[in-house]
Amino acid sequence: MLTPNPPAVHMEPAPRSSDGRQEPPLDSPILYINRELSWLEFNARVLAEAESITTPLFERLKFLGIVASNLDEFFMVRVAGLKQQTLNQVVELPPDGATPAEQLAAISQRAHELVEASYRLWNNDLRPALEREGLLLLRPDELTPETQEDIDRRFWKDIFPVLTPIMIDPNHPFPHLKNKSINLGVLFSRETNEANPNFGVVQVPVVLSRLMAVQHPGARAAFVLLEDVIARHIGQLFPGYKLKGVYSFRVTRNWDLEIDEDEAEDLLLTIQQELRKRDRGNAVRVEISGATTPGSLSKLCRALRLNEREDVYRVPGPLHLADLSAMVSREERRDLRDEAVVPHVVPPLRDADDLFAVIRERDVLLHHPYESFEPVVELVSRAADDPNVLAIKQTLYRAGGDSPIVRALARAAENGKQVTAVVELKARFDEESNIRWASTLENSGVHVVYGLQGLKTHAKAMLIVRREKDRLRRYCHLATGNYNMVTARLYADLSLMTAREEIGEDVTAFFNLLTSYSAPPRWNTLTVAPLGLHEAILGLIAREAEHARAGRPAKIVAKLNALVDHDVIVALYAAARAGVEITLLIRGICCLRPGIPAISDRIRVLAVVDRFLEHTRSFWFTNGGEDEVYISSADWMPRNFHRRVELLVPVLDPELRKRITQEILGTMIADNVKAWTLNPDGRYSRVEPGEPAIRSQQRFLELTYKRVKEADATGRASKRLLLTRPLGRDQGEPPRKKKRQETAPRG
């Protein structure tokens, strides 16, 4: 087993307050925020972006859709897990001490609040705003008679043949409804037996577009919902019955995969089989739009085995608001969207003819999406065709759709190179895509492995081995984000390109670990989970505490997606109590409670929510004045430390360290436009605006543009100098280019 036992955390005696009262011990439940409720607060901050009038209209609709999609994933995984614990009578108490039943009750209350706020925003603000722009979502009875006739014809021609009305009775049990499918619940009775109504279900076909475009006077674009068109004809689907009512509902199911890798002889085959079962998971939530009768709702909840009070979400509008983004997908109104961003290739890669030469001479840091991900793609592509490249090794966690990186790896194998791809088949919700990539790569001759048994390979790493002047040189790319061209334009991440020998040796050993379980006796620079990352982070935090006690500079700045690990939070509390100033930039879940006197009053927790998803993991430890800076694939969560393969990468170049600490982290800490601060009660409030206004993501765009502009100006000046300087003795001889020297990597 690769996972070491987590170390015991040294607990200092609880401090006393100024009035002599004993402060709680650092593992006391009152010092921790519940993980699930903290995640819901992240979703509340996303909803706030949709509510903000400073956000362009179409972007507000996008953020509203993100809230709905986020809640889907939350229920399919986190709520499903808690329900499973309750069903199996397994009690795993989190650091805050809440039982699964207590968590489910609190989740239901807060999630209902968020859903109500979402529909209030849609009905009172966004829908009227879209209507003012000529974009209408209508009911069939709001259409003109001519348009109603048109949708009726379309119903009988294109929709009715696909439908399957199902009556629920002893001969027709309640059907299994697919996860996230929209259905119509129908209550009806026979004329001769109205006292005993029947219940029926019609599933809205997912193969048809949910938004049907229609003609409407004065509208720029008008739509009706597919379920509303079906409901208009529901009586004709159940002839001979008297219609009592119809409403739409949507079921969310447990969608997490449960795989015993010890029992799986073929992991690929096992996951393929589990994916086919996934839609049959237990229901965890039902959303309902429209009026219901008590009898029909009770029947529905009994059939789905849901609690009518906690698990039913009634909504005054269309189900799953994320689908409404299609209303504006074809609209070219730039004034109603964020300004388009074109990622730039920046110095030193800009105008570089030889990427390998640039990386040989210096480490390169890329800040996505402001700086283009294209050089990473180009590096793999050039390596695939370079006769001097002997081998390429790469991890693939979420490669996305039509991936140029995957195509380049396949081409490299076809060109006779040694190519290894570590494909993570268990990347949640990307399992099917990754199975396709694995098959494609194997067919091209790539050696595909699925990582270490029982562990997800979440690290982002690439190694290129190249023959240069009778020696082999290793080029590495290490990152905080996935090798995915789509998310590289939407997520804020960092990429490091380097040819440092000590890092190259470690990355080689890392891939050997993934393919053969062979860990090296020691690592030069990298720290790997689960082989010591947890201990390393605890050690770095403890070292800052020692510096503070000795009167040396002591500060921690950490940018993460989530902070959950109990031992790390205890260590941060202890460091703060020792005098370390701690700033945490945490986009999502944070279980640490800041601002508690004598415990966490030196800890500040900030969160930035803006147009790009903050995804970077980077850490700055002042180390008594000898700064250490790292980037990582890992958040500070138990799963990242103990159940995933992750990397912690030191930034060794002084200029790049300075860029991360001062430019990137410093700018984000100073954000007073899109930043939130976490309060001791677990809720967030916006950072007070100031002068000058600092919006960190906008500032990063400006800095990128400035670098490109300066590089272009320098290039033009160099060309002018070249054209105007005096020629040598032979007036007809052009200036000679200096031969580029081969230099060893610095450090």
Which residues lie below 8 Å from residue 145, measured CB to CB, with a gap of 6+?
A: none
Go through 444-463 and write b for each residue having 16 or more CB atoms within 10 A of its CB, e for each that does not: bebebbbbbeebbbbbbbbb
How far apart, in whole angstroms, are the C-alpha atoms of residue 675 and residue 575?
Answer: 25
How far apart, in whole angstroms, are the C-alpha atoms of residue 705 and residue 471?
Answer: 38
Angle, CA 106 vertex, CA 100 and CA 109 arms, to 5° = 140
How far apart, in whole angstroms, are the C-alpha atoms of residue 264 and residue 283?
Answer: 26
Length of the chain equals 747
Q: Name which of 594, 528, 588 is nearest 556 in CA terms.
A: 594
Strand 221-225 with 135-138, pairing: parallel
- Angstrom CA distances, 94 to 28, 32, 73, 287, 357, stand at 11, 9, 20, 28, 50
Q: Count CB-CB contacts under 10 A for residue 498.
A: 29
> Token digits for 204?
């809205």
Angle, CA 620 vertex, CA 612 and CA 10 arms, to 5° = 120
> Residue 529 is inside which H or E element, if any?
strand 527-529
Classify 579 in phi/psi space as left (phi over 0), alpha (psi -120 to 50) or beta: left
In the chain, count H helices and then E strands. Answer: 21, 27
Strand 165-168 with 221-225, pairing: unpaired
> Token digits for 505?
């040796």
Of 216, 458, 534, 547, which is the active-site residue? 458
Q: Say which amino acid occupies 344.
A: H
Query: What is the three-state SS of 580-621?
Result: CEEEEEECCCECECCCCCCCCCCEEEEEECCCCEECCCEEEE
> Token digits for 297?
């709702």
> Token digits for 43?
């979703």
Preceding omega of 348 cis (within 30 degrees of 0): yes
Q: Is the dihedral of CA 545, 548, 554, 560 positive or negative?
A: positive
Q: Which residue has the tokens 């229920």?
A: 75
How far apart, in whole angstroms, are the C-alpha atoms of residue 157 and residue 144?
Answer: 20
Q: Name which of 734, 583, 58 is nearest 338 in CA terms.
A: 58
Using CA atoms of 288, 290, 293, 299 in order, give the dihedral in degrees to the nearest 10.
-30
What are the CB-based long-range contacts (under 8 Å, 24+) for 738-742?
740/357, 742/360, 742/468, 742/469
How far apart, in whole angstroms, are the C-alpha atoms of residue 233 and residue 161?
Answer: 13
Go through 54-69 and write b for each residue having 16 or more CB atoms within 10 A of its CB, e for each that does not: ebbbbbbbbbbbbbbe
Which residues lie below 8 Å from residue 186, measured CB to CB, with a gap of 6+?
A: 165, 199, 200, 201, 202, 234, 237, 238, 243, 245, 246
Per the annotation, the verdict on 458 as an active-site residue is yes
- Angstrom CA distances, 451 to 39, 273, 444, 657, stand at 29, 19, 20, 31
> Token digits for 637?
């969560």
Q: Name which of 397, 406, 404, 407 is nearest 451 in CA terms.
A: 397
Using CA atoms of 429, 433, 434, 436 in order, give the dihedral in degrees to the nearest 10.
150
Residues labelled as active-site residues: 458
